[in-house]
């Protein structure tokens, strides 16, 4: 509905408003008031369908029209100052807005002119900064435009899928694609652990990471339960369990470091798979940008539920340990 606000109905010429009952032609996507569609009985562009006609929103529509983000292609409410999906300024009427917009959405006069690369090439200066590998194995600065491909996917479509922070991720994705390197430090993974993957809607990766940490922490957990007397000590090899707990603690640290280094690559791989799935079912155009934004983006609820589960689990474990918690925290024997 949002994309049709401010567009004229081809039958009555009245502009669509929020709340209007709108139907679209299944062949070309032309919008109509439901009553106008019933009155016309057929699409006004029926004769053009065979030639592949596809309805498009008017370029430069008035103030009542939906704002299309130049960075990710998402449709926003009329008059919106910033894109609701990726946060890029819409309209860029002020110098501050132009400065905050991604480099590759600016005009040549707005974008800083980069220096020529060591290889002698002269970039056009209107795109997003990224890096690529030279023939001599060195890394050189270059520019990425909205239609440039990263692993066969346009940068604009990557931006539609990623949403906020897309300039950062596009730079990382292009670097990985150009250099064939999969590593890159992600402080978000270091700080939030599996919550990062849940935030980026990477359910499988988040669950596997969380399960690995839980499994590696199991020997240490059993050891504390034995020390607290919650579990009977009979039948347990305490020495072996203590050694296993130390090994698992080191392994847990190693897994955390590996995920910090590979987190962005795993996101790139997951995003590419889901983007191609959208490619297969949605034709190129505004609908594809909307589908990518819906499929991608972020989720605040998922990491919040994960953190809540961690909190409740910690509280339950502390209650299970009972007075032994004082010994763990303060070294005081209850």
pLDDT higher than threshold 50 for residue 242? yes
* Inter-residue contact 255 to 266 (CB < 8 Å): no
Q: In this predicted model, what pLDDT tens digit does every residue of 98-123 receive, in sequence order?
A: 444 443 444 333 333 333 333 333 33
Taking only the tens place, the pLDDT of each residue in 283-311 is: 887 788 888 988 998 999 999 999 999 99
Residue by residue, DSSP assigns 104-130 as GGS-TTTS--PPPPTT-----S-SEEE
pTM confidence score = 0.60
Burial class (CB within 10 angstroms; exposed 0-12, middle 13-18, buried 19+) of 127: buried
Under the banding of pLDDT at 50, 70 and 90, the label for residue 246 is very high
Query: Residue 297: which of 72, 70, 123, 127 has the closest Cα?
Result: 72
If pLDDT is split at 50, 70 and 90, which confidence band does 245 have?
very high
Q: Band the pLDDT of 2: cuts 50, 70, 90.
A: very low
Q: How confident is the model at residue 85, as a pLDDT?
A: 65
Domain boundaries, the chain: 128-179, 187-330
Confidence at residue 110, expressed as pLDDT on a 0 to 100 scale: 38
């Amino acid at each position: 509905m949002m994309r049709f606000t401010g567009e004229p109905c081809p039958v009555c010429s009245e502009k669509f408003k929020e709340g209007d009952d709108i139907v679209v032609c299944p062949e070309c996507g032309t919008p109509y008031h439901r009553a106008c569609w019933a009155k016309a009985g057929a699409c006004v562009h029926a004769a053009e369908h065979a030639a592949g006609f596809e309805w498009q929103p008017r370029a430069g529509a008035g103030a009542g029209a939906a704002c299309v983000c130049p960075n990710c292609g998402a449709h926003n409410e009329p008059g919106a100052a910033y894109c609701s999906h990726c946060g890029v300024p819409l309209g860029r009427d002020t110098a501050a807005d132009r400065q905050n917009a991604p480099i590759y959405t600016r005009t040549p006069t707005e974008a800083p002119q980069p220096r020529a690369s060591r290889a002698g090439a002269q970039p056009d200066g209107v795109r997003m900064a990224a890096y690529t590998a030279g023939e001599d194995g060195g890394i050189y600065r270059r520019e990425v435009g909205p239609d440039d491909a990263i692993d066969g996917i346009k940068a604009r479509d990557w931006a539609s899928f990623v949403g906020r922070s897309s300039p950062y991720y596009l730079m990382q994705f292009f670097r990985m694609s150009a250099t064939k390197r999969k590593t890159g430090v992600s402080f978000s993974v270091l700080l939030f652990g599996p919550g990062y993957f849940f935030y980026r809607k990477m359910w499988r990766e988040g669950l596997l990471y969380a399960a690995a940490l839980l499994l590696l922490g199991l020997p240490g957990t059993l050891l504390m339960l034995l020390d607290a007397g919650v579990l009977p000590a009979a039948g347990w090899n305490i020495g072996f369990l203590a050694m296993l707990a130390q090994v698992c603690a080191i392994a847990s640290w190693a897994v955390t470091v590996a995920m910090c280094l590979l987190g962005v690559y795993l996101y790139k791989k997951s995003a590419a798979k889901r983007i191609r799935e959208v490619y297969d079912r949605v034709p190129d155009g505004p609908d594809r940008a909307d589908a990518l934004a819906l499929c991608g983006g972020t989720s605040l609820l998922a990491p919040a539920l994960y953190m809540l589960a961690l909190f409740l689990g910690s509280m339950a474990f502390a209650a299970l340990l009972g007075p032994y918690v004082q010994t763990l925290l303060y070294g005081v024997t209850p």
